[in-house]
Structure 1
Amino acid sequence: MILHRWFAALAVLASAAAAFAAGDAARGAQAFRACSGCHSLAPGDHRTGPSLAGVFGRRAGTADGFGRYSEALRKSGMVWNAQALDGWLRDPAAFIAGNGMTFPGLPDARVRADLIAYLQAVSAGKIAAPKTPGLPDLRAADAGDRVSAIAHCGDTYRVTLGDGTRRAFWEFNLRFKTDSSAHGPRRGQPVIVGAGMGGDRAQVVFAEPAEISSFIRSHCE
């Protein structure tokens, strides 16, 4: 029985090694599209998740400039290699319990192998990192998108824009956010950005949190 389990374990390892060897980086580039909504491959370009530039050989939870790692990931001591990435991509929640990754995992071993081959090739500089769609440059927003005043009354926000236009929003449909990056709005010049739903939802982006409460005034006409 012990020998049987030992041979079974060897078979699993051999199968995993074969999968890694068979990984196709070109197919992996296509598979990466599932990751690109949260991750960039450009150095220092952190999104919902950290940049994956140079991820091979890096200790988990240590990408420079990314401050939203879970404690579980930071303390895992994991170093990202092919085997570790395969386990992570298969089922992040099971691989490192308590981490903050919401992605459910890739059950297809071939897809994982392709994606790992692609990440390894990009990390090694064998394949150029793709250009990730940039975030909007809110500093260059038109007057019609810049917010000059926000009044709150009852359950309604009335937003006055730089071109004199006024828009009313149900308070639950207007969100307030911050963007402190180089592409964020200038201080004191928040910008309104549509959030779909036929134009009845939007978000106002400020340069820093302190601006939000001071910018909004209670006023009923």
Structure 2
Amino acid sequence: MRAAVFAVMALVGLNTASDALADGDATRGAQYYRACVACHALEPGLHLSGPSLGNVFERKTGTAEGFVRYSPGLKAAGFSWNAAALDGWLKEPAAMIPDTYMVFQGIDDPQARADLNAFLEIAGKPGGGEKAVADGLIPAEYLRAGAPEPISDASPEIRIAAIRHCGDSYFIKTEDGQETPYWEKNIRLKIDSVETGPPEGVAVILGAGMAGDRFSVVFSSLADLESLVEEKC
């Protein structure tokens, strides 16, 4: 019931917003879109912390195939992402869908929203990302945004042969024969189950910035994590 109330409130807001939408400029909107790249790709089906914005225009809320992290309210809202809906969402997501998981605070400036909306009306349609690149609106890198580079062909020095945990440390042996101890709090165990991840049964160690002492160990599945990490001193 609560989700249904949210949906009705959102739709009422959309009808009001549709009467007052400003004319947007897609070129300016592409500049505003830079803030979206941290969380969204334009390649259809490529989901980051947020769902892909490929084919988002006229897509029903909460239905991007393969994305499972929608809030209940967004899944139940039942409207489609048209210009009016996007204007309301870009203004204040939490006002439209109070239980949204999106942390974006919104854009007060109606012209900025209209410009970003104009860009999304191009880029968010089938083939739109490629069109936006061809038209010089965005660089090609924006299509995949912050998606990690595939690690299916990892080199021996980062491909893990064995990993064991002892006390407060991980001892990681790579396929080049080197075994290195790491403080356990400097190692993050991660899963990348899509095409950017390692092959089944393989783990890879990657640098994670900071002072050069933080690393991510990436597995292709939870089953691999459980089977490849050994408790042994």
| TM-score bucket of the superposed structures, by smaller chain | 0.7 to 0.9
Letter in structure 2 aligned against 1:76: A
Q: Is the Cα–Cα contact under 8 Å of residues 72 and 99 in structure 1 kept in the other structure?
A: yes
2:158 counterpart residue number: 145
Q: 1:107 to 1:64 in 2, by over 3 A?
A: same
Shift of 1:171: 1.0
CA-to-partner distance for each residue in 1:187-210, whole Å, 9 max, x for gaps? 222101111112211111111101
Shift of 1:15: 7.8
Q: Is the Cα–Cα contact under 8 Å of residues 160 and 205 in structure 2 kept in the other structure?
A: yes
Q: Secondary structure at the match of 1:16?
A: coil
2:136 counterpart residue number: none
Q: 1:129 to 1:46 in 2, by over 3 A?
A: farther
Moved more, 43-52 or 141-150: 43-52
Residue ranges of structure 2 left out of the alignment (5+ in a row): 1-15, 134-139
Alignment of 1:148-167 (within 5 A): 148-167=161-180
Letter in structure 1 aligned against 2:20: A
Shift of 1:100: 1.1
2:34 counterpart residue number: 33
1:210 counterpart residue number: 223
Q: Secondary structure at the match of 2:172?
A: strand
Q: CA RMSD in A?
A: 2.0
Aligned residues: 206
The structure having more radius of gyration, on CA atoms, is: 1
Q: Secondary structure at the match of 2:65?
A: coil
Q: Is the Cα–Cα contact under 8 Å of residues 41 and 129 in structure 1 kept in the other structure?
A: no
1:70 aligns with 2:71: yes
> In the aligned structure 1, how far is the partner of 2:90 from the partner of 2:64?
18
> In the aligned structure 2, how far is the partner of 1:173 from the partner of 1:98?
33
Letter in structure 2 aligned against 1:123: G
CA-to-partner distance for each residue in 1:8-53, whole Å, 9 max, x for gaps? xxxx869832x2x2x1101111111111111111221222111112
Select which of 183, 186, 190 maps to 1:170: 183
Letter in structure 1 aligned against 2:79: M
> In the aligned structure 2, how far is the partner of 1:126 from the partner of 1:72?
28
Higher relative contact order, structure no. (Cα contacts within 8 Å, ≥ 6 residues apart)? 2
Q: Is the Cα–Cα contact under 8 Å of residues 42 and 129 in structure 1 kept in the other structure?
A: no
Q: Is the Cα–Cα contact under 8 Å of residues 54 and 128 in structure 2 kept in the other structure?
A: no
2:116 counterpart residue number: 115
**What's the TM-score, normalizing by structure 1?**
0.86
> In the aligned structure 2, how far is the partner of 1:188 from the partner of 1:101?
33
Alignment of 1:54-93 (within 5 A): 54-93=55-94
Q: Secondary structure at the match of 1:83?
A: helix
CA-to-partner distance for each residue in 1:74-95, whole Å, 9 max, x for gaps? 1011221112111111111121
**What's the TM-score, normalizing by structure 2?**
0.81
> In the aligned structure 2, how far is the partner of 1:150 from the partner of 1:78?
48
Q: Secondary structure at the match of 1:145?
A: coil
Q: Is the Cα–Cα contact under 8 Å of residues 17 and 84 in structure 2 kept in the other structure?
A: no
Amino-acid identity (%): 47
Residue ranges of structure 1 left out of the alignment (5+ in a row): 1-11
